[in-house]
Amino acid sequence: MSLSFQHDDENQNYILMAKIDNSKNVLHLMKAISFKDFATFYCSSNGLKVTVEDSKSVQANAFIQADMFQVKVLIIIGLYFCFY
C-alpha cells in the first residue's frame, strides 16, 4: 500500500496528512536520530524519510513505510520539508 494522491475539499489545506494509531515506533525512531535540532523530511508514495546531518560528517536516516500509516494523503509528490 502506498500514500494516496487524492485531493478533495476535506484535505485541501494539507500538503501531507498521515495518521498512525501506535506512535510509539515512530517516537523511538525519532529519538534514535535526534542528535541535532534540524531534520529534513522527504515524503513520497513509499513513505516518509527523515534525515539528520551534523557538519557533513555524520548522517542518520529513518524511513517509515507507507504501510505504517492508516490515513495517507500526499498532495505534492516528492515533497521535501525541514524542521528547525
pLDDT digits (tens, 9 = 90+) for 10-42: 556 667 778 888 889 888 988 999 888 888 888
* pTM for the full predicted model: 0.70
Mean pLDDT of the residues in the chain: 77
Q: Give DSSP secondary structure letters for 2-15.
A: --B----GGGTT-S
In a domain, 33, yes or no: yes
In a domain, 2, yes or no: no
Query: What range defines the domain where residue 27 resides?
Result: 9-83
Count: domains in the chain: 1
In a domain, 4, yes or no: no
In a domain, 38, yes or no: yes
What pLDDT band is residue 1 in, cutting at 50, 70 and 90?
A: very low
pLDDT greater than 70 at residue 7: no
- The DSSP letter of residue 46 is T
Cell of 29: 525512531
Look at the chain and count its residues: 84
